[in-house]
Amino acid sequence: MKKLYLKDVAKELNVSKTAVSLVLNGKGDENKISQETQQKIISFVKEHNYIPNQLARGLSRGKSETIGLIIPNISDTFYSKVAGVIERKAKEKGYTVLFSSSYEDPKTEGELIQSMLNRQVDGLIIASTQKNKKEIEFLKKEKFPFVLFDRFYPEHDTDYVIVDNFYGTKKVTEHLLGLGRKHIGFVTLKPGLEPIAQRLQGYHNALQGHNIVANHDYVKEIKREEYFSEVEEALKDLVLCKQPVDAIVFSTHYLASQGLRVLKKLKVKVPDDVAIVSFDELSAFDIVEPPVTAVVQPVKEIGCSAIEILLSKIAGEVQTKFQTKVLKTKLEIRGSCGNK
Amino acid sequence: MKKLYLKDVAKELNVSKTAVSLVLNGKGDENKISQETQQKIISFVKEHNYIPNQLARGLSRGKSETIGLIIPNISDTFYSKVAGVIERKAKEKGYTVLFSSSYEDPKTEGELIQSMLNRQVDGLIIASTQKNKKEIEFLKKEKFPFVLFDRFYPEHDTDYVIVDNFYGTKKVTEHLLGLGRKHIGFVTLKPGLEPIAQRLQGYHNALQGHNIVANHDYVKEIKREEYFSEVEEALKDLVLCKQPVDAIVFSTHYLASQGLRVLKKLKVKVPDDVAIVSFDELSAFDIVEPPVTAVVQPVKEIGCSAIEILLSKIAGEVQTKFQTKVLKTKLEIRGSCGNK
DNA sequence: CTGAAAGCGCTTACAG
DNA sequence: CTGAAAGCGCTTACAG
């Protein structure tokens, strides 16, 4: 069984390449090809397992039925979950997904965008490093279909899907305040990412609402690449000082789990000595000790919305304005905050 | 700045398309194109950001510089980690990766293999459902480059990268025996996957080595799709019976975490009443309560080996025989087994 | 060193 | 309904 090409199929069946191609692309009826011929072609193709070369098809039609997904890190549980739903939805619509991780490096991200464009992807879904204004501007100018998620460019109008980060931390901080915690620390990443900034604002806003003056020393900004050791330093500062905190909000799941790891090592009792909460979820958060209260992101909705918006753009639907979605988070209360 | 094509570059520079193409493909020297011309071309291309259409390039050269990755589930932490290292390594070598999840469905997997072939991937890395003998045979017959990982087909000679599943469970079961546990349960998936079978054998082998007659009721086989509820049923059987187990080996990380979840719900004390261990790791296993002893798979090595083998096959290196790797696991001892 | 030309395997107006 | 033909944007012998 040698490899079949379009011309082989046509020859076998004594029809033209045109006919075969038309039928396979579902244009048989509109070109008035007899049902009989259509059937003949379809069953032959199925039986002999002919499948068109997508490179040729893509080149000829100017599209590839592929979408590109650029994320900070495919190994991170949040992104791998979103990737899963995007892939699933994409496949339903006949698209395959090309993915690549930027590892938070703007240069890599820029190269990936270019590389995806060369590969003629039909659209792009990006959780950006937020440091590639140029590429984003370029995509906009070219009217190339793309949608941002998780991170977006506040100064640029684009389609995006994000989560209400502000309200997420605000709510969880208020939850801590409601339980009588007064000295609330905030362990987060160094500035640069919009969601991170919003999470910090939500925290501040909650404190203000309770007339608490934010203690600047209570906010610890961690360098992501060295979060393992820096979280440890930060927690020592927060906990082993003369005015220790009695609660800590971690702005990502990995900061939270490392935080808990360190607190255990320091023999700090959670939640008795300090309550902790995490922005974003880890599947094991309900079985760690204590179970960690978390702000849960609607992973499925994020992925679905992103792909839907993208596909509508690819389909060339008329856009009166940019499609943006800000999804609600959910507060999952577990044991790490104790009771009142 | 309109889109540039090869012919535009050639025209701008007053050279032939051939020259530009040759230079860009690093064949300038061997075709004796003057350094001056080469420089001119390279700098123009860089400056104007010309990048060849990979579809056309691929069609013309008969390869796409893309590799396909087919795994059961991109959202599973094990596969997403392996995917991460594969992607990274692939990129280093100039390859992009197309990924798709089979969700353990053989039919989907078969379609994915076909779909990847259409897209002219240069090679395939597959963690198979092990129920697509036909496709695997097909790939072999076509001498299409592929390597299996995690799961392989014992009856078929192929290249593969796996882990020593047998020895992994054997060692961890012996660890439990060494701690004085005598009634050891084994919670696993229904048969069908080679690694799962090997893990079961390792368990049995360890028991035999200690002259313990395996109690058939102590082995619980779970249907993966309903593991959440079935683990609960299984554990009730194992723990709430007249001769309860004093230790349980879980053959995957999700069975283990669900197991722990259920044991907590049943108020069974771990490790006092029953010790538990997990085959495969979860990043939070060190902070759950109690920390879970686990057989850790060398994720990085798995990914690296798979991609290396694949690339060597793509490069067409002479293969005297199939390349197979069986990597060692590592036993990470934590608190969930107690002490002697 | 260059340039015209064939070819990769499709799709799709176009003339019949 | 069919078939010849152009075209998608490259690569690569081949003749000069």
Q: For residue A125, what pLDDT is reported?
A: 98
Angle subtended at Cα B145 by Cα B144 and Cα B151, rounded to the nearest 5 degrees: 110
B57 located within any domain: no
Amino acid identity of B335? G
Q: Which nucleotides on strand C sit less than 7 A from a protein beta carbon?
A: 1-5, 7-14
Q: Do residue B79 and residue B48 come from a single domain?
A: no
Decide if B96 and A119 are in contact by the 8 Å CB cutoff.
Answer: yes
Using an 8 Å Cβ cutoff, are A86 and A307 in contact? yes
Q: Do residue A169 and residue A287 come from a single domain?
A: yes
Residue B17 approaches strand C within 7 Å at CB: yes
Average pLDDT of the segment spanning A136-151 = 93
Q: Which residues pair with A288 in a beta bridge?
A: B288
Q: Do residue B124 and residue B177 come from a single domain?
A: no
Task: Give the residue from chain B lying closest to A108, CA to CA.
Answer: B91
Q: Do residue B19 and residue B109 come from a single domain?
A: no
Structure tokens at B46: 């860089």
List the one residue out of A148, A167, A200 whose CA is nearest residue A327: A167
Compare B51 and A125 and report the one with higher pLDDT.
A125
Q: DSSP letter at A250?
A: E
Chain A positions in Cβ-Cβ contact with residue B257 (cut-off 8 Å) = 283-284, 287
Task: Give the residue from chain A lying closest to B55, CA to CA.
Answer: A55
Give the list of residues 6+ apart from residue A337 with CB closer than 8 angstroms, or none. A175, A176, A179, A181, A247, A271, A275, A276, A277, A293
Q: DSSP letter at A69?
A: E
Decide if B288 and A283 are in contact by the 8 Å CB cutoff.
Answer: no
List the one residue out of B323, B312, B299, B301 whose CA is nearest residue B93: B312
Q: Do residue A179 and residue A289 come from a single domain?
A: yes
Chain A positions in Cβ-Cβ contact with residue B87 (cut-off 8 Å) = 74, 99-101
Residue B264: band (very low, low, confident or very high) from pLDDT cuts 50, 70, 90 = very high
Using an 8 Å Cβ cutoff, are B70 and B116 in contact? yes
Q: DSSP letter at B288?
A: B
Q: DSSP letter at A288?
A: B
Q: Output the domain CATH number for residue B13.
A: 1.10.260
Q: Do residue A143 and residue A80 come from a single domain?
A: yes
Structure tokens at B217: 């009721």
Compare A123 and A3 and report the one with higher pLDDT.
A123
Pairwise CA distance, residues A311 & A332, whole Å: 32
Chain A positions in Cβ-Cβ contact with residue B95 (cut-off 8 Å) = none
Using an 8 Å Cβ cutoff, are B156 and B167 in contact? no
Q: For residue A340, what pLDDT is reported?
A: 67
Alpha-carbon distances, residue B111 vs B106, B116, B117, B134 (angstroms): 9, 8, 10, 12
Range of the domain at B38: 6-52
Q: For residue B325, what pLDDT is reported?
A: 97
Angle subtended at Cα A133 by Cα A104 and Cα B39, rounded to the nearest 5 degrees: 90
Q: Output the domain CATH number for residue B129.
A: 3.40.50.2300
Average pLDDT of the segment spanning B231-243 = 95
A321 located within any domain: yes
List the one residue out of B59, A319, A36, A155 whose CA is nearest residue A19: A36
Alpha-carbon torsion A205, A206, A209, A215, what sign? negative
Q: For residue B33, what pLDDT is reported?
A: 83
Q: Helix A17-24 crosses helix A35-48 at what angle (to 10 degrees)?
A: 80
List the one residue out of A115, A98, A25, A67 whose CA is nearest residue A311: A67
Q: Do residue A91 and residue A186 come from a single domain?
A: no
Nearest to B84 among A81, A101, A282 (CB): A101
Average pLDDT of the segment spanning A208-223 = 94
Q: For residue A280, what pLDDT is reported?
A: 97
Residues at the strand D interface (CB under 7 A)? A 15-19, 31-37, 56, 59-60, 62; B 5-7, 17-18, 21-22, 24-25, 27, 52-53, 56-57, 59-61
End-to-end CA gap in chain B: 73
Q: For residue A318, what pLDDT is reported?
A: 67
What is the residue-wise DSSP string for A296-316? E--HHHHHHHHHHHHHHHHTT
Residue whose pair of structure tokens reads 């509820």 in the numeric block: B229
Decide if A84 and B98 are in contact by the 8 Å CB cutoff.
Answer: no
Mean pLDDT over the full length of chain A: 93
Nearest to B59 among A55, A282, A288 (CB): A55
List the one residue out of A172, A184, A140 whose CA is nearest residue A292: A172
Tell me the shortest Cα–Cα distance from A177 to chain B, in angstroms: 26
Distance B22 CA to D15 C1' (A): 18
Nearest to A52 among B83, B118, B284 (CB): B118
Decide if A98 and B285 are in contact by the 8 Å CB cutoff.
Answer: no
Distance A17 CA to D6 C1' (A): 15
B116-128 as b/e, with b when 16 or more CB fall inside 10 Å?
bbbbbbbbbbbbb
Decide if B54 and A282 are in contact by the 8 Å CB cutoff.
Answer: no
Residue B319 has pLDDT above 80, yes or no: no
Alpha-carbon distances, residue A20 vs A5, A14, A56 (angstroms): 11, 10, 15
- Chain A span 23-42 residues with beta carbon within 7 Å of strand C: 24-25, 27
The protein residue nearest D7 (Cα–C1') is A60
What is the residue-wise DSSP string for B146-202? EEEESS--TTS---EEEE-HHHHHHHHHHHHHHTT---EEEEEEPS--HHHHHHHHH
Average pLDDT of the segment spanning B86-100 = 93
Q: For residue B13, what pLDDT is reported?
A: 87
Q: Do residue A216 and residue A259 come from a single domain?
A: yes
Over residues B52-66, the pLDDT tens digits come to 899 999 999 988 999
Tell me the shortest Cα–Cα distance from A191 to chain B, in angstroms: 26
Decide if B100 and A81 are in contact by the 8 Å CB cutoff.
Answer: no
Query: Above pLDDT 90, what percent of chain A?
Result: 76
Alpha-carbon distances, residue B125 vs B151, B160, B219 (angstroms): 11, 9, 32
Pairwise CA distance, residues A62 & A56, whole Å: 10
Pairwise CA distance, residues A311 & A315, whole Å: 6
Pairwise CA distance, residues A157 & A321, whole Å: 9
Q: Do residue A221 and residue A111 come from a single domain?
A: no
Pairwise CA distance, residues A328 & A171, whole Å: 11
Pairwise CA distance, residues A251 & A261, whole Å: 16
Over residues B288-312, the pLDDT tens digits come to 989 999 999 999 999 999 999 999 9
Q: Do residue A27 and residue A134 come from a single domain?
A: no
Q: Are strands B247-250 and B275-279 parallel, antiparallel or unpaired?
A: parallel
Question: What are the strands, taking DSSP E only, across B59-145?
Answer: 66-71, 96-101, 123-126
Which A-chain residues 162-221 have CB contacts (< 8 A) with chain B?
Answer: none
Compare B266 and B12 and report the one with higher pLDDT.
B266
Residue B1 has pLDDT above 60, yes or no: no
Give the list of residues 6+ apart from residue A285 with CB closer than 8 angstroms, or none. A253, A278, A291, A292, A294, A332, A334, B284
Tell me the backbone φ, ψ of residue A326, rounded to 5 degrees.
-120, 105
Over residues B2-33, the pLDDT tens digits come to 678 888 888 888 888 888 988 888 888 888 88
What is the residue-wise DSSP string for B203-219? HHHHHHHTT-PPPGGGE
Average pLDDT of the segment spanning A224-235 = 96
Average pLDDT of the segment spanning A257-280 = 96
Query: Above pLDDT 70, what percent of chain A?
Result: 99
Distance A46 CA to D6 C1' (A): 29
Q: For residue A207, what pLDDT is reported?
A: 96
Which B-chain residues 288-317 have CB contacts (< 8 A) with chain A?
Answer: 288-290
Distance of CA A82 to the CA centre of its chain: 5
Distance of CA B288 to the CA centre of its chain: 25
Residue B340: band (very low, low, confident or very high) from pLDDT cuts 50, 70, 90 = low
Q: For residue B36, what pLDDT is reported?
A: 85
Decide if B287 and A282 are in contact by the 8 Å CB cutoff.
Answer: no
Residue B49: band (very low, low, confident or very high) from pLDDT cuts 50, 70, 90 = confident
Over residues B146-203, the pLDDT tens digits come to 999 999 999 999 999 999 999 999 999 999 999 999 999 999 999 999 999 999 999 9
Pairwise CA distance, residues B337 & B247, whole Å: 8
List the one residue out of B106, B152, B107, B94 whose CA is nearest residue B126: B152
Domain count, chain A: 3
Residue A319 has pLDDT above 80, yes or no: no
Pairwise CA distance, residues A336 & A176, whole Å: 10
Q: For residue A49, what pLDDT is reported?
A: 82
Chain B positions in Cβ-Cβ contact with residue A98 (cut-off 8 Å) = 66, 96-98
Residue A263 has pLDDT above 70, yes or no: yes
Pairwise CA distance, residues A303 & A292, whole Å: 25
Nearest to B80 among A56, A80, A290 (CB): A80
Distance B31 CA to C1 C1' (A): 8
Over residues A187-213, the pLDDT tens digits come to 999 999 999 999 999 999 999 999 998
Residue pairs between chains A and B whose CB atoms are closer than 8 Å:
130
Q: Do residue B286 and residue B183 come from a single domain?
A: yes
A1 located within any domain: no
Q: For residue A2, what pLDDT is reported?
A: 64
Q: For residue A89, what pLDDT is reported?
A: 96
B107 touches chain A (CB under 8 A): no
Q: For residue A30, what pLDDT is reported?
A: 82
HSE of A26 in the Cβ direction (CA atoms, 13 Å)?
0
List the one residue out of B222, B292, B104, B57 whose CA is nearest residue A55: B57
Nearest to A53 among B66, B118, B290 (CB): B118
Using an 8 Å Cβ cutoff, are B325 and B303 in contact? no
Tell me the shortest Cα–Cα distance from A209 to chain B, in angstroms: 34
Q: For residue A104, what pLDDT is reported?
A: 95
Question: What are the strands, taking DSSP E only, across chain A?
Answer: 66-71, 96-101, 123-126, 146-149, 160-163, 184-189, 219-222, 247-250, 275-279, 293-296, 324-327, 330-332
Structure tokens at A64: 């590839």
B1 located within any domain: no
Average pLDDT of the segment spanning B257-261 = 96
Chain A positions in Cβ-Cβ contact with residue B45 (cut-off 8 Å) = none
Q: Do residue B177 and residue B257 come from a single domain?
A: yes
